[in-house]
Amino acid sequence: MKSILVIGAGKIGSTIVDMLNDTGDYAVTVADASAEALAAAGKNGIKTVQLDFNDAVALQNALKGHYAVLSAAPYHLTGHVAQAARLADVNYFDLTEDVATTRMVKELSEGATTAFIPQCGLAPGFISIVAHDIASRFDKLDTVRLRVGALPQYPSNALSYNLTWSTDGVINEYIERCEAVVDGKLREVPAMEELEEFSLDGTRYEAFNTSGGLGTLCETLEGKVRNLNYKTIRYPGHCALMRVLLNDLGLRNRREVLKDILENAVPATMQDMVIVFVTVTGERDGRYVQETYARSIYGQKVAGTQRTAIQVTTAAGICAMLDLLAEGKLPKEGFVRQEEIGLDAFLANRFGRVYAGVRLDQASEPAVKDIRLDAVA
């Protein structure tokens, strides 16, 4: 039985812990600075460690002897975990959408005898696997568009938004520069720009640039595609109001103030959904064609506890990659990109099948629905 250390006992970390522990195939330990969070996560024989992630020595010691460390820590602490993993010779996985952190992880992985597999969640993560799989079926690529949204099923405030995951992560992706391929060249474009609208199953949505969702796909497809971009999906009007907060009120320079406002004014919800929407155009067999992947995913129970769609999809991604490494289906050392795993192999995994509509408990209604593109503006 492989020993796994999960860093972070929050919304996503606790879901990862429950997913892995419920299989009986992994000996799971969870570490967090919060005794309260550990008390909630540490059940059913799960070991807990109270740990200051800023203490490099303590962090490295905590990692020693484990097969892998899975970081569900806030993005600004992820680099500390990666450094400790390199020093402790432990396989490393994370969920970060932060571009700078991923670049650091790639540098750390050079010459490593263990695997460094960042960006294992939804976006970055699964979305890159889907896009690369579709793109591989084209003779010549023109445009690859990736769109993902974690949305409330029943929006009821002016932002048409509820908190379902890391507030720090949302703010970071709304502020930092975004990678894209524009006219065949790798570029950085501003977040919250290039607003578009479209309709899926009769519901209107908007999408705009956000940082980090492409993972390493820009590097992988640079020189092979004319245009490649990633945008976050929201309900109409969200982008305009967030621009007021970030730009007009200057809160992009006061992240802690913005975080406090959002966490005290925008309610959380368990009734969310995740939309995954990928469109690829290009040449195939001498014809200019388009192929689209569109799914909506809903929450479900994990080890008897109801989890949101964003918790389930994010946790399933990193757990699937852990399984695939343990099964010898991924490189055993160095930097590993999400798109190195095929979509079929990912969906065949016991965790990855969540994205195919299979519930982990094998009961009740499917947690995925195919959706129809109505129009794009």
Strand partners, 107: none
What is residue 278's three-state secondary structure? strand
Residue range 239-243: average pLDDT? 98
pLDDT of residue 358: 87
pLDDT of residue 367: 59
- Residue 166 pLDDT > 50: yes
Asked if 350 contacts 323 with a C-beta cutoff of 8 angstroms, the reply is yes
Amino acid at 264: N
Asked if 359 contacts 59 with a C-beta cutoff of 8 angstroms, the reply is no
Residue 242 pLDDT grade (very low, low, confident, very high; cuts 50, 70, 90)? very high
- Residue 375 pLDDT > 80: no
Half-sphere exposure of 66 (CA within 13 A, CB side): 31
What are the structural domains of the chain? 2-121+310-356 (3.40.50.720), 126-301 (3.30.360.10)
Residue range 224-253: average pLDDT? 98
Q: Give the tens place of pLDDT for each residue, 87-111.
A: 999 999 999 998 899 999 999 999 9
pLDDT of residue 316: 98
Q: What percent of the chain has pLDDT over 70?
A: 96
For the whole model, what pTM was predicted? 0.93
First-to-final CA distance of the chain: 52
Residue 164 pLDDT grade (very low, low, confident, very high; cuts 50, 70, 90)? confident
Residue range 328-342: average pLDDT? 97
Select from 53, 32, 12, 275 the least CA-distant residue to 168: 12
Three-state SS letters, 108-141: HHCCCCCEEECCCECCCEHHHHHHHHHHCCCCEE
Residue 364 pLDDT grade (very low, low, confident, very high; cuts 50, 70, 90)? very low
Asked if 180 contacts 198 with a C-beta cutoff of 8 angstroms, the reply is no
pLDDT of residue 362: 65
Q: Give the tens place of pLDDT for each residue, 220-238.
A: 999 999 999 999 999 999 9
Q: Please give the structure tokens belonging to residue 362.
A: 């094998």
Q: Give the tens place of pLDDT for each residue, 36-80.
A: 999 998 887 799 999 999 999 999 999 999 999 999 998 889 999
Distance of alpha carbon 200 from alpha carbon 351, whole angstroms: 27
Q: Per-residue DSSP letters for 29-46? A: EEEES-HHHHHHH--TT-
pLDDT of residue 369: 65
Distance of alpha carbon 215 from alpha carbon 125, whole angstroms: 7
Asked if 29 contacts 19 with a C-beta cutoff of 8 angstroms, the reply is no
Q: What is the average pLDDT value for the chain, to the nearest integer?
A: 94
Q: What percent of the chain has pLDDT over 90?
A: 90
User: 140: buried, middle or exposed (CB in 10 Å: 19+, 13-18, 0-12)?
Assistant: exposed
